[in-house]
Structure formats: C-alpha cells, structure tokens
Amino acid sequence: MEVPAVETVALKSADGTRLACSHQRTHAHEPFPTLVWVHGGFEHRQRYHRIMADFARLGYASYALDLRGHGQSAGASVYIRHFDEYLDDLAALLTYLTDRVMGPLYLVGHSMGGLVVVRYLQERAVDRNLTGAVLSAPLLGIAAEVPAWKRLLSKTAVGLLPRLAIDNGLRAEDLSHDPEVVAAHRADPLIRRKATPAWFEELLRQQSLALKKADKIRTPLLVMTAGDDRLADTGRTRQFLNKLDQRVSVQHVHFEGFFHELFNEIGRAEVIETLAAWLRNTR
C-alpha cells in the first residue's frame, strides 16, 4: 500500500531554537494512533522515514523531530548546556500535537532518544496524556570502551572548551548487519561525526539520574534490547527495569544477535511485529 508523502513541520523550542520535524500521515480513519519518534545521538529524523512508512501502512501516523544540534535543526552541533534542552525540544512537538492528535499517543525513543524519553517520563510526563512509551536499545549506559585520554580530555575541557569538537569514535559497522544500512550511514551528510565535552558529560549525568529516578515512571513501557549491542549497555538497562515501580506495565524483549539499530537490522520484520503487537495491546 502506498502511503502519503512525508510532510515537513517547522517548530520552535522554548528558547526559540528552530526544530525540523517530519510528519507521516496514514490512510486510517480518525482517531488513529500516533507515534512520536526520538532519534539517537549523532543521527537525525530522516533515518526513521522508512519505519514511519511501515507503521503508516498499519494505521499509525508518525512525527519525528531533529533534536537541537542534530540533522536540520538549529543549534551548535551535538552540544547542550543541560539535558532539559532536549526535553524542551520534545515538549515543543508534544505541545504542537495537543489539538492535532485525537487517538492514542506513544513516544518511541532509540538509543540517546531512549534516554530522552526516559528523562521526559520522569520529569514532564505528568502534563501529557501518553498512552505508552517504547525504548529501543536505550542509551542508559555506554557499552563501548571510551579511551582514558578521551575521558580525561572531556572532563578537562568541559569547563574551558565545552564546545570542543572531538571525534565520537562511532563505527557504522557496529550499528547493523545490513551492509546497505552501514554504507548509507557512512555516506549520510546529516550524520554528526563529532561530540562535545558539554554533551558527553551531561549525557553521563543524565544516565545516572535515569537509573536513580526509575521508580518515578508511570507510563506503560515496551523495552527492546539488542543481544550484541556494542554501544548501549544492556546490563544497565536491566538494572533500570529492576528499579521500575512494580505497578507499571512493562514488556522487555531481547533480540539475540542483533546490533544496536533494531529498526535497521536484517531481522527488522521481527522488531516491527513485536512493536505492532505491543501497540495493539496497549491502546
């Protein structure tokens, strides 16, 4: 089934930062459910257009925004003063959707986007009518070994040169077994290849807060982890799951042998069906 073309929406965050957003319509009749996709670090919303089209065929509308400093949104590249700036970006989109979404509303966060969703649920979700949230390989801890010199440089530079551009060390071949995905990532001009000390140190701080405040979450969750994730620490995700309030509805699905980008893996059909089944059961 052909799906409607993706539309572009221009938004502004609380501090006026310009945000680029994509909207994927569906042929389903109102009130259809809506998914809000939150991308990972260094990437951008357009990498989610394929999965958004997949869910449009299943009757779901989608929105995906570029967080500040990523993709086509404004802001210094991969730089934040505080993680609240990402939460403000997500809040700007959800505010835009307030009178536009009549059906169930879900957040879907991948990698760093999963951390953004977790922290949003912990600090801001009380103001939103969210049906559920999905965490895909959430970056609640870092599995990749960060060289000691890079950790020292980050700690030293954060106060003096917070916007210093440092190579992120991300290897495209660690993302997916699909060679087309790997090649596309390497050639993508919107992928950011460097990080800043301010971003990295704030990321570490927020990972600790996400674990410490796990029991504040009240939104139903689907958590999907990759069995061979070389970027996100799945052990840290399990710690997070163990700290959740027992009254919260949680489903954890672990995909053995998968690399980090579950939606871009060779076995992505299994991931799509897992998510679609959970969405059907959570409306």
Query: Using 50, 70 and 90 to split pLDDT, how confident is the model at 62?
Result: very high
* pLDDT of 90 strictly over 90: yes
Distance (Å) of CA 154 to CA 135, 198, 261, 283: 27, 8, 26, 44
Domains of the chain: 7-282 (3.40.50.1820)
Query: Using 50, 70 and 90 to split pLDDT, how confident is the model at 60?
Result: very high
pLDDT tens digits, 126-179 = 767 899 999 999 999 999 777 776 776 677 777 778 989 989 999 999 999 999
pLDDT tens digits, 178-191 = 999 999 999 999 99
Burial class (CB in 10 A: 0-12, 13-18, 19+), 250: middle
Instruction: Give the helix/strand (H/E) hosting 234.
Output: helix 234-243
